[in-house]
Structure 1
């Protein structure tokens, strides 16, 4: 009889000799399964964090991968791009620009971005643009500061309603378009760029343009410009010599000739095309009254240190030639009734004296007097009193408006300005929308009001020298930048001190 073996050490504390043979294979299989299960559970416990992280990375990887929207075609100055929650990176020519990037330029820099569909944007100095989404089925970009000069690509052509730009309050819908957008909020780049103009706007109410440009407070009026006011709109202009002009609604007033140097006199020829104006003269008229003339219809008004009003509406604006026999002024209006507004050129003097010339005749109009001039034959009539429509005019006397030529603020109204060069742009805000065609400009304020169509393109947009993205030439741009740098060094040479 065999001697029993001592108990073994292992999973089971039992001797195999006492177990029937048919049970041994089953026990071995069960022991192996239990050991393997324990090994698997222990391995899973130790490696679970790693496996979970790898799974998450595998699942999230495609969603987190950035989608390239375009690239930097050219940059000047410091240009940066940044994803939300990521570090700021410096970008330059050839750098990729991805969805979610906010691209920024410094005060003296700009960048030309070329997108995957061929669209291009020139990002102006001191600007910030976020590419929220750029896919084949639509794009959305947010302008937070500064401005862009834009040319649409294939997406806008294939899906006209799928390309949009937005600000905090307004939206621009782009339809196969070349356009500019400028966000102004006390930005000096939104000032009129014209240096030393003939006049600046002291006061603007409503819609006013000058030389085809929107005229804002502080905006410039140059020699050759015609200032136009809309209905219920007025403008007060301060000229460089201290003279001023208040312009009433529906008025056109031209600066035909203007030459002035402080302390040296000058020459001025102004024209009231139609409408109403209140004028007070300045240094040119005081130094040489013959050098300051105001034309209205077929009359020429000469001055002698003067303040006066002119009214020329409707039939008055007909500048047909004077008759050969223009009679001198008569004492009192012809007929029983005062002439109606629009039937004559009316003049009224409230300071100094003016002289109204029609053909060979010179008619003086002193303080308190009023004159009516028939523009058809040049006949002039002194009126017994100032016409009621001139007395009741709410247009302010220009010398009563505060401010002066040198100190007036030249900054445009805060808001979004858009100018269409080709195609169409829909400017929407506050539940309203303005459709802009080529050559038209629109404005949306920062308060969320319904946008408006402007009577002309703002000067700070029309005269923008930032390169257009579709006309961009890198070689030419670099040459221009070098020339500007060279000119600035010549104008402001370095100061050296030898000790």
Structure 2
């Protein structure tokens, strides 16, 4: 079933790409300009002579950008996207539509060879499917992202890695969880107040407040195997999540249920040390004992006005939970098949009938493969390498989908297989080509080529 959905996704992506390629107008509009160039490079519109890349050169929809060996260029598009086109690269601006606040903004590029470094703008932030990069190996779906992409079909990438003396850095997954089976709209707001939309495969980090809009739902899959189904109009804050698969008992999973309905299935942290897993609400705290349980938090439980019938409703369907209502010293233990209602005022009430729930039990949800898994991928492998500095990237091949979050590298081989390398490729980690938002790209290029590091790269 999953493979069939992936084939449909790949076919749909190619179909969209082909449609957009055919839609390039004869008199293409200006979509941006060149901010910096070094060495020999050209921009060429279909049927016209090439134009030399230089500062201020207007770029048009349909332009094919090429750079020679040792050359590079930084371009800026109208939505604020900035890209460094690497040496010996070829990038086509196949389709570009942007009007501020327009619902149909879109961007499609084709990476023919080489690579680029990008900080994307408003188009990718406005819609999860609006910005894509097509390659011969895979389609890159951009979700408001700061990332690098590199096609390695010659020994060049591996040769660059051999010139780096430093050890490769582990390609650790920084995300605590990823969301799957999203229906409707879901969002995450980080500790600094920055809000981003979550789509399938989107990452969630400690400090994030995850929320679903009315009529929406999704399932959070955590690295320790815990799963949380979020119902309609729900808010959950991930207060702390620490997990090392070699020492799950030292992990920690703490969250605050702010409002709405959830179905919770705890994973390896809770199984190894149940005291390190806990959920808080406005009128009770919940401890677990290798557990599956449901929560509904409305009215006073959500810090909102409500009628006497609102509050915190709990039902255990696996294992047991410990409930400590606010203001009470005694714990109440709920075994499987037992429930509890804690109203805004009045006494706690026992529940003997399981409340009906429209959302699926999280332990029955099929989790996509490679959501967090890593595998060995040498720097000499041929295919597409992607590194994400921030945001979310989806790599889609004919048979697989790989999601990457902040600080992760991914790979798509010529055979259509995807992987998350065990270490970050050194030719990406120590790339000498300046980032597109570099303050002085010429100086950065010269210093990097001289072996002088100008600061952390790809961190």
TM-score tier by shorter-chain length is: 0.5 to 0.7
Q: 1:411 to 1:360 in 2, by over 3 A?
A: same
1: distance between equivalents of 2:31 and 2:212? Answer: 44
Matched-pair contact (CA < 8 Å) for 2:265–2:362 = yes
Q: Counterpart of 2:337?
A: 368
Equivalence for 1:275: 260
* Alignment equivalent of 2:93, drawn from 96, 111, 129: 129
Q: Does 1:311 align with 2:296?
A: yes
Q: 1:111 aligns with which of 60, 74, 88?
A: 74
Q: Alpha carbons of 1:345 and 1:184: their partners in 2 closer, same or farther (altered >3 Å)? A: farther
Q: Deviations over 1:217-256 (max 9, x none)?
A: 1110000001000011001010011111000010001100
Report the CA distance between 1:205 and its aligned residue. 0.8
Change (3 A) 1:489 1:223: closer
Distance between the aligned counterparts of 2:277 and 2:266, measured in 1? 8
Instruction: Tell me whether 1:187 sits opposite 2:136 in the alignment.
Output: no
How many aligned positions are there? 314
| Contact 1:192–1:219 (Cα < 8 Å) also in 2 | no
Q: Tell me if structure 2 keeps the 8 A contact 1:74–1:113.
A: no
Q: Give the Cα–Cα distance (whole angstroms) in 2 for the partners of residues 114 and 249 of structure 1.
A: 37
* Structure 2 CA distance for partners of 1:287 and 1:70, relative to 1, 3 Å: closer
1:241 aligns with 2:224: yes
Q: Which residue of 2 aligns with 1:461?
A: none
Looking at structure 1, the residues matched to 352 and 271 of structure 2 have their Cα atoms a distance apart, in angstroms, of 30
Q: CA deviation at 1:83?
A: 2.8
Question: For the structure 1 residues 197 and 71, does the alpha-carbon distance in structure 2 shift closer, same or farther, using more than 3 Å as the test?
Answer: closer
- Tell me, in whole angstroms, the C-alpha distance in 1 between the residues paired with 2:287 and 2:362: 19
Cα 1:301–1:487 shift into 2, 3 Å: farther
Whether contact under 8 Å (1:73, 1:114) holds in the other structure is no
Show the counterpart of 1:384: 352
Partner of 2:270: helix, strand, or coil?
helix
Give the Å deviation of 1:289.
0.6
Q: CA deviation at 1:104?
A: 3.1
The residue number in structure 1 matching 2:47 is 85
Corresponding residue for 2:11? none
Aligned-residue offset at 1:183: 3.9
- C-alpha contact 2:45 2:64 (8 A) present in aligned 1: no
CA distance change for structure 1 residues 228 and 109 in 2, over 3 Å: closer, same or farther? farther
- Structure 1 position 200 matched with structure 2 position 178: yes
What is the aligned partner in structure 1 of residue 15 from structure 2?
none
User: Which residue, 157, 181, 188 being the options, matches 1:210?
Assistant: 188
1:263–1:98 distance in 2 versus 1, CA, 3 Å: closer
Counterparts of 1:70 and 1:319, CA distance in 2 = 48
How much does 1:479 deviate? 7.4
- State the structure with more CA Rg: 1
Displacement of 1:472 in angstroms is: 5.0
CA distance in 2, matches of 1:216, 1:100: 28
Alpha-carbon distance in 2 for matches of 1:239, 1:206 = 21
- Give the C-alpha shift of residue 476 in structure 1: 6.5
3-state DSSP of counterpart to 1:305: coil
Q: Does 1:254 align with 2:237?
A: yes
Where does residue 344 of structure 1 map in the other structure?
Answer: 311
Q: TM-score, normalised by structure 2?
A: 0.55
Higher relative contact order (CA 8 A, sep 6+): 2
Q: CA separation in 2, counterparts of 1:371 and 1:483?
A: 68
Change (3 A) 1:365 1:485: farther
CA distance in 2 between partners of 1:480 and 1:302 (Å): 55
Tell me the residue number matched to 2:246: 263
Q: Matches of 2:218 and 2:294 in 1, distance apart?
A: 15
Cα distance 1:356–1:129, how it changes in 2: closer, same or farther (>3 A)?
same
Change (3 A) 1:187 1:203: same
Distance 2:274 2:286 in 1: 11
C-alpha contact 2:308 2:343 (8 A) present in aligned 1: no
Write the deviation string for residues 191-233 of structure 1: whole angstroms up to 9, x where unpaired.
Answer: 8779421101122111001122111111100000010000110
Tell me which residue corresponds to 1:331.
Answer: none
Partner of 1:462: none
Taking a change above 3 Å as real, the CA distance of residues 401 and 68 of structure 1, as seen in their structure-2 partners, is closer
Map 1:14-53 → 2, pairs under 5 A: none
Summarize the Cα distance change of 1:408–1:113 in structure 2 as closer, same or farther, 3 Å threshold. Answer: closer
Measured on the aligned residues, the alpha-carbon RMSD in Å equals 4.9
Contact 2:262 2:294 in 1 (8 A): yes
CA contact (8 A) 2:447 2:453 kept: no
The answer to whether 1:399 aligns with 2:382 is no
